[in-house]
Structure 1
Amino acid sequence: MSQPTPALAPLPRVSRRVGAIAESATLAVDARAKALKAAGRPVIGFGAGEPDFPTPPEIVEAAVRAAQDPANHRYTPTAGLPVLREAVAAKTQRDSGYAVDPATVLVTNGGKQAVFQAFATLLDPGDEVLLPTPAWTTYPEAIRLAGGVPVEVFAGPEQGYVVTVEQLEAARTPRTKVLLLNSPSNPTGAVLTPAATEAIGRWALEAGIWVVTDEIYEHLTYDDAVFTPVLRAVPDLADRTVVLNGVAKTYAMTGWRVGWLVGPQDVVKAATNLQSHLTSNVSNVAQRAAVQALTGDLTAVAAMREAFDRRRRTMVAMLSEIDGVEVPVPQGAFYAYPSVAGVLGRTVRGRTVRTSAELAEVVLDEAEVAVVPGEAFGPSGYLRLSYALGDEDLVEGVGRVQRLLAEAR
């Protein structure tokens, strides 16, 4: 009599590749803050990187007109509406100072899709990506999902959160294929100087590696800081550079989900093929709104930047009054990234905080203020606070943190 076949070991329900992805820490903090607020707690959230302004009315009106046009009720080219790809090219010439062929533009569902598709198109398993940190929480996850290996290169507050060519060279190996740049930076607000941008770009050119540059905060700089596109600083990099951008931060359009990538034609073609199976075209209504944003003037953008600048100065001044907190002045984006190393090890309302993650929990539980711990972006010992919220909430929220940490012993 034959023996029954032994039961096979059950296969995992979720793939190892996807199961290893961590939840977006910034969105998780924002979701928890909103849930607590909905439950009646007066939580103030500094977690999400989202302008508190409404999308400018002329952009909304363009979307309304688009929704009423049957031409926008159908599929359109995967790479984007030709009129939007042309607008991206014209905007790049206007704002960045170099020419772009509309055929090398791919319109994506927000900046995150552009990030993932850039790495998915460039990386083979085991390829390394130099990732200056602190860095946005999505970058390493997108790199890993694409089969790559993020190699963190840390620059602390003593360097203004800006890595050096020497650090990058020390981290480079025969497996290094890509360098990720993000200036102005999320989470630190650091902005590469023109000289630093050129030095890093020339190093990448000589090293023969690719550059993926995320320029979504290009219009948000303060004081004497200026945004320097790497392809304007080092034009010879064009054949090995992918530029990422979108309308979310500049035009208060986070929910519209329109981003793009620009790069060499073969890379853009491959990324477009990927998108054709992934999502097809971006919503036509959102694309038409983006056309209005990119072809209109920057009056609303200037007004938002002025408000962010005012809030930036208020936040830095208030955080600097807290014992044990060091606050490099952010020069771009809308984030402060203070070091809280001087607070760690102290006891706050009976709880000893040893990491910035523990500190963020105490701040939420005891002060009802949501912040993102440094562990989301690199080493422990830091907090990220967005100043893209109303002035009154900002003052009240940071004031709560001041009063809570004044009790630290």
Structure 2
Amino acid sequence: MFDKILIANRGEIALRVIRACREMGIKSVAVHSTADSDAMHVRMADESVCIGPASSAQSYLNKAAIISACEITGAQAVHPGYGFLSENAGFAQALADHDITFIGPTAQHIRIMGDKITAKETAKELGIPVVPGSAGGVPDVEAALQVAAEIGYPVIIKATAGGGGRGMKVATSPTDLEIAFRTARSESKAAFGNDEVYIEKYLQKPRHIEIQVFGDGKGNAVHLGERDCSLQRRHQKVFEEAPGPCITPTMRSEIGEVCASAMRKLKYIGAGTIEFLYEDGRFYFIEMNTRLQVEHPVTEAIFGIDLVREQIRVAAGLPMSVTQDDLEINGHAIEVRINAEKLPNFAPCPGKVNVFHAPGGLGVRMDSALYGGYSIPPYYDSLIGKLIVHGRDRPEALARLKRALGELIIDGVETSVPLFHMLLAEPDIQNGDYNIHWLEKWLAAQFGS
């Protein structure tokens, strides 16, 4: 087992990893920018190293500085959290070259799944169902029109190297397609330095269902059910729950085994999430995230398993502590993402937190790096906390969420908390009757945006 782990991240996810390390008797090293010198993850870690100025490009994305921090502190492994360098194959390889363990999948698997076209081709080879679409990148408008004619409108154009909704455009006709194709390529080039795009059938009212998988790198793998992440704004998730309200035990077992089998064939190591669009009883592969997800706590809640602990174990060469037969769902869990944003336009709202009070009680978990007097810096993502609740069933989880939101106090900055109070009053949310378009339509009706 490792003696010391460096966490190449910040905020609540850095604290999450530090807590797992402490329970396992492992020393932790926090890295931070100059803007984060007073951050909670710096205070809680056993050691800390400043790796650069406020800009993430010069700090949290600075591979050389992070490797130097490992060498200075004697850290034997790096946990990347999510975001930043968590899915950077070059970083994983650079760590390996310096005999430092990357707590995650191999650089090869990150590379395969990081390219949307290669990932889709690999998924098909592994028996995972995919959305009908182009066989690879589409070079020009003429080829795009041909693909769209074959699979039928509407279609969606996606950036090969994309993520976060950038480089995505929907077309409902040949005229729309010509404009959408050029716009998607332009956005992709600007955002990712790569203008290659591909085309898929655009599903009308799908849900976003993702399957949590975990492997030991030796051909053993399990699935930990699904999460429904359909409530999204601009392709960004805001509300996640497990199990999915629309997924039956038979569906779960079937698609879960498909995914676990695929990971066994790949000899995948660590945590991963295979994301699908789900419509009319069918699953369609979107992508695979080769890291821990923001919403992993809902899976931990219903299975009673520490996914970060498991990541560390398998990275150290130990076996997984559970088998598929050990994994049984217990109750229902929901997570809402608390952002420092001002409604209704969701504008970032950094600033000083005068008072912070986390909710508590049975079945309530608050993952946050906030504290009273902390100043939220303007340089990073607006996520400032995750409120997770667990109940015996979905109605109890919803009631617990409503109660916990009422207890949460974040004074001094605007947050997205009012959004969730409004959503919990909606019959569709209470009944679990929503899809990936529901939230944006609701926001338009509420705020005209």
TM-score normalised according to structure 1 size: 0.26
Q: Which structure's residues are more often strand, by fraction?
A: 2
The structure whose RCO (Cα within 8 Å, separation 6+) is larger is: 1
TM-score normalised according to structure 2 size: 0.25
